[in-house]
Chain A
Amino acid sequence: MDKVEKLPESIKVIWRIHAIIEFVVFLVIVQAVSLIKLTMPNNIRSYFNIGEGIVIALGVLFLILSFVWVIYLWNFWTYYIDERQVQLHSGYFFRKQVIIPIARVQNVTLKQGPILKSKNLQKVVIVTAAGRSEIDGLESEQADQLKETIMKLAQEAKNDI
């Protein structure tokens, strides 16, 4: 595990699925709101339709942008794990680097919903005494291995709070 790695490529599919789900939820909300127009007289209704069209168009634009965003995110989201620490890097224009020493880790949570399960991925949440960091998805064996490493090291280091 001793090199800088990208998230598994299949995470892109999951991010896209999330974007689509959000878009569908958005559409449902817009449709629900647009029920108001049934109470309106005809001449105002046409204006309302234009407004609705603009909102949906913006939503579609946002969906397309988030598909592009997924590519950007994946390309510049890397992590590095060794015996001592977990490092997370993200972003190109605004770069963020997070270092979490394994000795400071309080607990690790592995999460897997149906979408992640279909791609055999697990979400890893690393909790320290001051906040939490997330890795959106790792291949299942890798996530388990990470959990084992952290458990082993955390037992060695006395983390007294």
Chain B
Amino acid sequence: MTSDPKRLHPAAILFFLYKDLKNWIVPAIIFVVAVYNQSKLWSILGLFALLLLITAVDIIRYRTFSYQFFDDEILVRSGIFVKKVNHIPYDRIQNITANQWFFLRPFKLEELEIETAGHSEGPEVSLVAVPVKLKDELNHYRQQFNSEEVTQNVSQETFSMEKPIKQGITEYSITWRELLKFSLTSPAFLSGLLVVLAFYGKVQQSLSKQFYEAAANEFVHLGWILVVIGLIIILLFFYLISVLVLIAKYYHFHLEKEDSQFRMQYGFFKAKKTSISQNRIQAVVVKQTLLRRMLHIASVKLVIISNSKKGETEKDIVVMPVIETAKLNDFLKKFFPHIPVDELKVKPAAAKTYYYDLRNAMIFSVITDIVLGSIMFKLSVWWLVAIVIVSALFWLPPAYLNARRARITLMNDDYVFLQNNQVTSKNSYFVPKSSIQLLERRQSVWLSNKKFAHILLNCRSGIETRVLKVKYLPQEQIDEVVAWYKKGANS
């Protein structure tokens, strides 16, 4: 069963155009600015020629781009001068994402991004404008291929053996309450704050010039107040925008799981549908910032192998942006039935762990005091006091949280639970033994006398290594994990 080679929808030309125009806009502006004074005619003609050239190239690009489904692979042909033929076997596909802008909805078109574990940057193949039906067709080919594979290869491992068992569909949708809590507590607007602060410097300069020169002292006070009020309004504005953006992004977040496929669907303006196969998942992470912990909400993410080069936190696939902690266990049980959530018994952190973490923080705090203090001491003693207080506030609370959250516990033969702290946010990992690539145990002589040690689990995430690290745990807990890991290392 092979399909004919197919082209994208002509609307793809518009997408190509949009991308090219984005790339060319800056050089074009430079060109116009440079030439405009000398010759208006030439600058306009030049622009026009460029536009024509881009359009022509994009039309040819559209005409040379085709895709074709085979029994075991997708074939994508592209390229104008350099012909490129890309073969993607179905069993190498990591995940498929469908993006649909709201204006494409009436035309039943969407963008399909197919990712593999290769080392290329971004998705391996991006089908810019294709009919919505195509995704089902692709999934159909994949399933057919998989079922053939399973019948041929009986000795497959437990993870993929779950496939033939029909489990039906499990689903979960985000509630409005959760979405609101999530967007309201997002620190995303702080990046907006940085922009404002940079801007503020300039505003203040021009303001003080105006006011100092023209007006009397009282007026300056008024001006200062105005600036503060203006700042607050701008901040609120950024905050509101970030809240609205987040709501639009995760609008109607819906997760469903059929057989061993996870499907996520979300977004208001740009509807995104992602599907991931269960056996691509390396670990499940539950993340909680301090503020969200107070509101009893958390995010659930997946560590997967992909070819994205984004930062560590963005790289993880969000499987549920926000969920109330009370519902978390049920959620995990529903979607990850092989994680034995009920068997999780966490012990409170040992007193010694607090001692070590706080001791280290004290050392760092004192070093900060000495370095900064030796400079500031000459100004005033109060500066020194301020530095001591601020550095203590900076170092000690994260250290306290580090100790409080440091944990590693075996759940059963296949899963380990690891929890650590990242400045103030709490990360809980559920890691299957099969995705731990390497285990490292560290201990100094002095810790050995006190029967304490560190543990590091290396997993694969994106295209890099993710090291899950817990420091200062009782030696017996760590040795238990080491023994567990050694026992069935090849399962």
Q: Give A contacts to B, CB under 8 Å.
A: 84-85, 92-104, 128-131, 133, 153, 157-158, 160-161
Contact = CB atoms under 8 A, between A and B. Distances in A.
Interface in B418-458: 436-445, 448, 458
Interface size class of B (residues with CB under 8 A): 20 to 34
B448 A84 contact: no
A84 B490 contact: yes
B440 A84 contact: no
Contacts of A131: 437-438, 458, 465
B438 A98 contact: yes
Contacts of B486: 84-85, 99
Contact of A101 (B279, B448, B466, B489): B489
Given A84-B489, A103-B489, A130-B458, A98 B465 contact: no
B276 interface: no
Contact of B490 (A93, A103, A128): A103
Given A99-B440, A129-B437, A130-B466, 12 more contacts: A84-B490, A94-B444, A94-B445, A97-B441, A97-B443, A99-B439, A100-B438, A101-B489, A130-B458, A131-B438, A131-B458, A158-B157
A102 B490 contact: yes
B437 to A, nearest CB: 4
Contacts of B482: 97, 99
Interface string B476-491: 0000001001100110
B460 interface: yes
Given A96-B441, A130-B438, A161 B305 contact: yes
A107 B398 CA distance: 40
B214 to A, nearest CB: 57
Contacts of B439: 98-99
A153 B491 CA distance: 12
A158 B156 contact: yes
A157 B488 CA distance: 12
Contacts of A103: 489-490
B117 interface: yes
B285 interface: no
B117 A130 contact: no
A154 B464 CA distance: 21
A128 B466 CA distance: 13
Nearest to B117: A161
Nearest to B490: A103
